[in-house]
Amino acid sequence: MKHVKKALALALAIGLLGAGAALADNQDSITIRMSPPTDYAISLSTDDFNFGEVELAETYLSTDTTITVTNTGSVSADWGIAGQNPAEGWELGETPDEDTIRLRVMLSSTTTPESGIEGASWGEDDSVIIAEVTRALDKSFDTEHNEYNGLNVGADGERRIWFQLETPTQTTVTEEQDFSVTVEAFAVEHAF
């Protein structure tokens, strides 16, 4: 009887293995792949801003023109900013000096805050100094909507951009000075 039980158990095991092999042939799988849209792009409402004729050792604000930055990419993005010195003449710097300007930037919502641009402190807590390195635009003086900075800006998101120019204390330059300022879009949480 023991031999019959063993034989029966062996036959059953072989039958199940055979059935499993038969089942394995009648199914298959496929891997579905896709990539989300990751277009990083921005647009400025103007490609030129003119402070006009400036005096030495003075401060000027970009209040006469509304300059808007728009995330025209397909995803949220962090924004950075960089300045480029002209081929000859004045330079961007941390502090105004001979032939050196300080150019600061701030962002706000698309409406002017109650305090106005003139009421902004333009200190380290709410502005970024533009130098020849890219910096995160994580500051905003817009106290009514302080989330309007350059971090995690949604697709089609807009910000106003404001500039504060502090002119050189002295100059050896007599020609008009043109500085290039570039705003860039990066993946959110980009390390600046």
Give me the pLDDT at residue 80, please: 86
Q: Does 14 fall in a domain?
A: no
Domain extent for 56:
42-186
* Sheet strands (E) in 22-157: 42-44, 59-61, 68-71, 78-84, 91-92, 100-108, 128-130, 135-136
| Model pLDDT, residue 162 | 86
Q: 160 in a domain, yes or no?
A: yes
For residue 33, is it within any domain? Answer: no
**Nearest-CA neighbor of 120 among 135, 131, 106, 109?**
106
- Residue 18 CA to residue 11 CA, distance in Å, equals 10
85 lies in a domain?
yes
The pLDDT tens digits along the chain (192 residues) read 565 566 555 555 565 555 555 555 799 999 999 998 889 999 999 999 999 999 999 999 887 778 999 999 999 998 888 889 998 999 999 899 999 999 988 887 766 655 666 666 677 666 777 876 666 777 665 555 566 788 889 999 998 888 889 999 999 999 999 999 999 998 887 555
Residue 70 forms beta bridges with which residues? 43, 158
Whole-prediction pTM value?
0.76
Q: Which residues of 121-154 are buried (b: 16+ CB within 10 A; e: fewer)?
A: ebeeebbbbbbeebbbbebbbbeeeeebbbbebe
Q: In the chain, how many domains are there? A: 1
pLDDT score, position 45? 96
Q: Is residue 146 part of a domain?
A: yes
What pLDDT, on a 0 to 100 scale, did the predictor assign at position 108? 79
Query: Looking at the domain assignment, is residue 74 inside a domain?
Result: yes
Q: Return the pLDDT at 156.
A: 96
Residue 54 lies in a domain: yes
- What per-residue confidence (pLDDT) applies to 65? 77
Domain contains 101: yes
